[in-house]
Amino acid sequence: MRRAHHVGGDRRVRRTRAALSEAILSLLLERPYETITIQEIAERADLNRATFYLHYGSKEELLLAALEEQFDSLVAEGPSASPEQPIWGIEEDIQQTLDYVAEHAALYKVLLSERGTAYLMNRIVDYIAAHSESELRASLPPGAPTVAPLPLIARHFAGSFFALLVWWIQNDMPQPAAEMAEVIKNLCVGGLRWGIGLDQS
């Protein structure tokens, strides 16, 4: 019955890394990235400063690792891979993403407005684009004509979704998640269907 063995090596390592990630993210909620020192991170994680260097070479490295975890847990909620309703499976993802982000509003507001944007944006937009492109590909007859190449349509969709997401977060989520999801569905998925010519029928 004793599981959770070998989940990723030494238990001490896992605990230490988790503490460091948590420390930097919690510091990020309080003040800008540049002003945060490795000393403070170690301090807040209740670890010796030398221990930090046992795991990461720089603040940057730790941040990327922490963001990666963050992204993974966002995606984990994510794409339940719709059955036979191709494009419309995306709508579920939109709803789930908004719900997830709303739960972690404070953190995402910081991540998106400051340091993390470059990384998170690339990561999220890439992910959404890849995800929606494969859905698109599956839902289209092979040689069907589209307004533009599929990867660009996917990017178009991902970009507008992300922009609306950022707007929503940075404006302190003026609408409830469900309502915003509706708007995004209308605009993005509508635009998507238009992009692949489904609206011409």
Partner DNA sequence: CAGATAATAGACACTGTGTTGATTATTCGT
Partner DNA sequence: ACGAATAATCAACACAGTGTCTATTATCTG
Residues of this chain that interact with DNA (CB under 7 A) are 5-6, 9-13, 15-16, 37-39, 46-51, 53-55, 57-59
Of 31, 39, 113, 144, the one binding a second copy (CB under 8 A) is: 113
Choose between 31 and 137: whose C-beta lies nearer to DNA.
Answer: 31
Span interacting with a second copy, options 23-31, 37-45, 136-144, 179-187, rule CB under 8 A: 179-187
CB of 188 closer than 8 Å to CB of 164: yes
CB of 94 closer than 8 Å to CB of 185: yes
How far apart are the C-alpha atoms of 48 and 64, rounded to whole Å? Answer: 21
How far apart are the C-alpha atoms of 166 and 160, rounded to whole Å? Answer: 10
Q: Output the six-digit token pair for 157.
A: 């969709």
Least Å distance, CB 39 to DNA, is: 4
Least Å distance, CB 123 to DNA, is: 24
Choose between 59 and 185: whose C-beta lies nearer to DNA.
Answer: 59
Q: Which helix (H) or strand (E) holds 102?
A: helix 86-103
Which one of DNA, a second copy, none is in contact with 6 (Cβ closer than 5 to 8 A by kind)?
Answer: DNA
For 194, phi and psi rounded to 5 degrees? -65, -40
Of 17, 109, 131, 155, the one binding a second copy (CB under 8 A) is: 155
How far apart are the C-alpha atoms of 163 and 95, rounded to whole Å? Answer: 15
Choose between 57 and 143: whose C-beta lies nearer to DNA.
Answer: 57
Span interacting with a second copy, options 22-30, 82-90, 134-142, 163-171, rule CB under 8 A: 163-171
How far apart are the C-alpha atoms of 77 and 48, rounded to whole Å? Answer: 34
Which one of DNA, a second copy, none is in contact with 149 (Cβ closer than 5 to 8 A by kind)?
Answer: a second copy
CB of 63 closer than 8 Å to CB of 115: yes
Least Å distance, CB 43 to DNA, is: 10
